[in-house]
């Protein structure tokens, strides 16, 4: 069980559906939800460069809830390679609610990659309910571009910026965007003021920051507003909104 803390909740146990309801999507317009887990010493991953060893059952329940009614899950190529994403499949329990909202049966996976050096043997390409997207440069290597087109719908952009990425996704009807990293992609989205919501899990662990990607500093610190905190297994799952949201 989880406990939720916020303006109207004090230690109330919540169900999986209630967790999903605690992460609402706006009725219109694009919305970018950033997801990340961090240890007490600021690591984004545990041993082996993956997040699983610093996560928990409670964290995974929130992770699932935040993408449950998303249109698209956006990641960088490094995250795909490290985490080895599985297929994005439709779930019968969510079919009615997604249909009533005018959504596709399942979220679409979108991968940002300049090099197009991607793990094409992963089942996520062939076994997802919807064909994944790959966003890359217009000047990408032609041979690698041909390979990518055999596995995914490819979107080429003159300049691969956060705003261009969001515009491309929204143009395909994918306005509810969950950005699951890695840290560099989240940093770039923050720098472009392209993140509306940050859902950050604080893991009660120390892992060392060696395996975690480093990121360039932001020109200014950007303060977000805390909306609520979920607690489970000693993990704190915090939901923040960006300034003006």
pLDDT digits (tens, 9 = 90+) for 2-36: 455 554 455 667 788 889 999 999 999 999 999 99
What is the four-CA torsion angle of 142, 143, 146, 150, rounded to 10 degrees?
A: -150
Beta bridge partners of 225: 241
Residue 211's pLDDT is 83
Classify residue 216: in a domain, yes or no: no
Q: What is the pLDDT of residues 105-164, one digit of tens each?
A: 999 999 999 999 999 999 999 999 999 999 999 999 999 999 999 999 999 999 999 999
Classify residue 10: in a domain, yes or no: no
Classify residue 218: in a domain, yes or no: no
Q: What is the pLDDT of residues 94-108, one digit of tens each?
A: 999 999 999 999 999
Phi, psi of 65 (to 5 degrees): -65, -35
Q: What is the mean pLDDT of residues 88-95?
A: 96
User: Helices 183-191 and 162-170 sit at what angle, rounded to 10 degrees?
Assistant: 90
Classify residue 217: in a domain, yes or no: no
Q: What band does 1 get if pLDDT is binned at 50, 70 and 90?
A: very low
Residue 2's pLDDT is 47
The 3-state DSSP class for residue 20 equals helix
Cα distances (angstroms) measured from residue 202 to each of 19, 57, 87, 105, 172? 17, 13, 27, 31, 33
C-alpha 13: how far from its chain's center? 25
Classify residue 25: in a domain, yes or no: no
Domains of the chain: total: 1
| CATH code of residue 233 | 3.40.430.10
Classify residue 171: in a domain, yes or no: yes
Q: What is the pLDDT of residues 184-219, one digit of tens each?
A: 999 999 999 999 999 999 999 999 988 888 889 888
Instruction: Quote the mean pLDDT of the chain.
Output: 92
C-alpha 92: how far from its chain's center? 22
Classify residue 95: in a domain, yes or no: yes
Q: Which domain holds residue 235?
A: 30-211+223-241
pTM for the model: 0.93
Classify residue 72: in a domain, yes or no: yes
Residue 213's pLDDT is 83
């Amino acid at each position: 069980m989880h406990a939720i803390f916020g303006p109207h909740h004090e230690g109330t146990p919540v169900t999986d559906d209630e967790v999903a309801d605690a992460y609402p999507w706006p009725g219109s317009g694009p919305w970018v939800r950033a997801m990340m887990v961090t240890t007490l010493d600021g690591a984004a991953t545990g041993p082996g460069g993956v997040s699983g060893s610093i996560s928990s059952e409670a964290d995974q329940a929130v992770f699932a809830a935040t993408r449950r009614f998303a249109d698209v899950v956006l990641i960088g190529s490094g995250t795909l390679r490290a985490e080895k994403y599985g297929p994005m499949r439709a779930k019968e329990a969510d079919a009615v609610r997604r249909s009533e909202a005018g959504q596709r049966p399942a979220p679409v996976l979108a991968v940002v990659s300049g090099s197009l050096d991607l793990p094409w043997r992963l089942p996520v390409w062939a076994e997802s309910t919807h064909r994944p997207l790959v966003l890359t440069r217009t000047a990408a290597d032609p041979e690698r571009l041909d390979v990518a087109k055999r596995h995914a719908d490819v979107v080429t952009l003159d300049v691969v910026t956060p705003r261009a990425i969001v515009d491309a996704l929204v143009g395909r009807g994918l306005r509810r965007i969950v950005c699951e990293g890695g840290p560099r992609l989240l940093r770039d989205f923050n720098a472009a003021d392209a993140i509306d919501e940050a859902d950050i899990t604080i893991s009660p662990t120390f892992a060392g920051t060696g395996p975690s990607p480093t990121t360039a500093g932001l020109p200014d610190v950007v303060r977000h507003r805390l909306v609520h905190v979920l607690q489970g297994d000693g993990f704190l799952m915090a939901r923040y909104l960006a300034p003006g949201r």
